[in-house]
Amino acid sequence: MKLKNLLTATTAAGLVLAAGVAMAAGTHPETGEALADVQTFVYATIDESPSIDPGLVEDVEGSAVVRDLFEGLMNQDREGNPIPGVATSYDVSDDKLTYTFHLRPEAMWSDGTPVKASDFVFAWQRVANPETASPYAWYMELMSVAGAAEIIAGEATPDTLGVAATDDHTLVVTLTQPLPYFPEMVTHTTTFPVPQHVVEAKGAEWIQPENFVGNGAYVLTEHVQQERLVRAKSDTYWDKDNVYITEVTRLVINDENQALTRWQAGEVDKTETLPTGQYGALSAEYPTEAISVPELCTYYYNFNLRDGSPEWEHDVRVRQALSLAVDRDIIVNNVLGAGQIAAYTFTPGATAGFEVPEVPAATMTQEERNAKAQALMAEAGYGADNPLKLEILYNTSEAHKSIAIAVSQMWKQTLGVEATMGNMEWQTFLEARGNGSFEISRAGWCGDYNEASTFLDLMASGSGYNDSKFNNARVDELLASAKTMEDPSANYTEIEHIVSEEMPVIPIYHYAAAFMLNDAVKGWPLDNVQQTWYSRQLYKVAE
C-alpha cells in the first residue's frame, strides 16, 4: 500500500509540476494543515446509479455525483444549513408565496457559456413534463410549485409551471402554499439546472462524458457502466480556488466485503457501507477510520390493518404486546452493532427541530415491557394453550433475516408466539407488501428532507406509503394543519403519541451510516444528518 501510494504520488506530482499547477502542495488556508501533494479521492459504492441526469436522478449516490457536476440555487454547509449556491440571495413576498432568487453573474457552464435563469426554468419544466417521465416529478409537487400537479397529471402544458426568468439573473418561483423550509428544498438535486443549449442539441445523449456540460465544481470525464465514474476539477467553476480535490473516482463494488478488503489494500479512500456486524471489530482495529453517524431513516415492521386481515391484527392489545416484547437493545447492540439507535417512536431524533416525545415504552426497562406485554396478551386471550401464530415477511437479505430471527425468538420466549418467517425476492416482496398479502412486513423509510413531516406523512390515511393502512382522523387533521404552521412541533408530538398508542407499526431502530474513511481525507460533513456531501468540501492532508 505504501509503495503503491508512493508510486502514484511521484507520478502525479510529476504531472502536476509539468502542468505548472501550483495548487496541489501547500497548506490549507483555514486550518493550516499541510496538504498532500496528490489530491485525488476514490470512493466505493455498492450499486451503479440509475441516472446522473439532474432531472432523472433518484438514488443517494447518484445525487452525490450530481452535486459535484451541477450546482443548484442553494447548497448545504457541513451542518446541512442552506447557503448560497448559484443564487447569492433571495427575497420572499409578504404572503410567502413568491420567492425571487438572484443568480450570481459569474456562474458558468463548463463550455464557457453563462448559467442563466432560463436554464433553471427549462430544468424545472423538464422535470414536471410527463414526457420526461422523471421518477422525481412529484418533488415539484412536494415543493408546492404552482401548476406542478396539473402538469404531471397531463392537464396543463409544462410552460404553465410557476417558475419564470424575469432576466438572465433573476428567477421567480410561485408557490401554491407557504412553505417555511422552501430554501432547504432547493438544495435537492431534482431542482438543479441543466444546460438548455446542450440538452436540446444532444437529446438523451447529453449526459455522456463526450457531450457533458455542467456548472458544478467538477466535470464528468469518464463513465463506465457498473465500473467507474471519474470527474475532474472544473476550471470554469466560480469558486474553483477553494476546490482542493482535483480528481474524484467513484468505483462500483457490489460486494461489501470486497469493498472493505480494497479499502484495507489502500485502493479506495471510502466505502459506502460495512458488512453487517463488523463495525465493532473494525472500530477497534481502525479507531479513527471506522465511522458511524446517525441517519435520517427508520427500520420498522408493519401490521396489516386492512379489512379481512387476521382478527388479532385489529386488537390493539396484541399490537402493543408484540411491540413491547421486541428488545431493541439486543437488536442494535448484538445483531447490528454499528451505532444504530433503538426506536420507540417513528421519527428519528436526529431530525432537525424534532424532539423525541417520551412515550411510555421508551422509559420502561425491558423486564417491565415484557411483563406488560404478557399481561396484554393474556387479556387478549392468547396463552400457552392458545398461542398466537403469525408470519414475518421480509425481502431476502442477511440483515433482515437476522433481525427477523431475533424478533421471532423474543416473541416466542416472552409471549409464546409461534412466528414463522417468509422471505421473498425484492420485487415480489414489494408487490406482496403493496397489495397487503402479509401479516407482518418489514419496512425502512428514509427522510427526503430534514423535517419530521417526511416521516409522519406516512401515517396519513391517504399516503401511498402507508402499508399498514393505518387510518386515524385526528392524525390526518394534525398533519394537514402542520403543513402551514410556523412551529408544528406540538402536532408532531401528538401524532407520535397516537401512533405509539395505536401501534400500526413497530419502530425497531433508527439507521446509522457506518463506513470506512481514510484518515488523510478531511472535511467530510459528519454533522450533516442527510449525508449530503460535496467533493469540494474535502481535502487530503499529508501523512
Partner 1 sequence: MFAFILRRLAVAVPTILVLVVLSYILMFAAPGGPFNAERPLPPQVLANIEARYGLDQPYWKQIFNYIWKIVTEFDFGPSFKYRDRTVSQIIGQGFPVTFVYGFWSFVVAVVAGISLGVAAAVKHNSWLDYFAVGLSIGAQSLPNFVMAPILVIVFTLWLQWLPGGGWNGGQWQYVVLPVIALSTSYMASIARITRSSMLEVLNAGFIRTARAKGLPMSRIIWKHAMKPAMLPVLSYLGPAFVLMITGSVVVDVYFSTGGIGQFFVNAAFNRDYSVMMGVTILMGVLTIVFNLIVDLLYAWIDPKIRY
Residues that bind partner 1 (CB under 8 A): 1, 3-4, 48, 50-53, 56, 130-131, 133-135, 137-138, 141, 152-154, 204, 207-208, 224-228, 251-255, 257-258, 261-262, 264-265, 267, 425-428, 430-432, 434, 443-445, 464-465
Residue with Cβ nearer partner 1 (299 or 539): 299
Enumerate residues 6+ apart whose C-beta is below 8 A from 409. Answer: none
Residue 245 burial (10 A CB sphere; 0-12, 13-18, 19+):
buried
CB of 115 to partner 1, least distance (A): 22
Greatest pairwise CA separation for the chain in angstroms: 83
Name the minimum Å distance from CB 395 to partner 1.
9
- The nearest distance, CB 216 to partner 1, in angstroms, is 17
Query: What is the closest distance, in whole angstroms, from the C-beta atom of residue 505 to partner 1 in the complex?
Result: 15
**Closer by beta carbon to partner 1, 141 or else 239:** 141
Report helix, strand or coil for 100: strand
Q: 3-state DSSP call for residue 32? A: coil
CB-based burial label for 235 (10 Å; 0-12, 13-18, 19+):
exposed
Give the integer Cα–Cα distance in Å for 400 and 392: 10
Cα 488 from Cα 166, distance rounded (Å): 34
CB of 142 to partner 1, least distance (A): 10
Nearer to partner 1, 226 or 363 (CB): 226
Judged by beta carbon, residue 116 or residue 250, the one nearer partner 1 is 250
Q: Which residues pair with 323 in a beta bridge?
A: none
CB of 300 vs partner 1, minimal distance in Å: 12
Grid-cell match 426497562, residue found: 365
Residue among 39 and 134 whose Cβ is closer to partner 1: 134
Are the C-beta atoms of 298 and 444 separated by less than 8 Å? Answer: yes
Closest CA to 501 of 461, 529, 476, 470: 470
Nearer to partner 1, 251 or 330 (CB): 251
| Alpha-carbon distance values, 385 to 70, 157, 382 (Å) | 64, 65, 8
Q: Which is nearer to partner 1, 267 or 358 (CB)?
A: 267
What's the closest the beta carbon of residue 29 comes to partner 1, in angstroms?
Answer: 34
Q: Which is nearer to partner 1, 83 or 265 (CB)?
A: 265
User: CB 137 → partner 1: shortest distance, Å?
Assistant: 5
C-alpha cell at 162: 410557476
Q: Taking a C-beta distance cutoff of 8 angstroms, is the pair 194, 126 a contact? A: yes
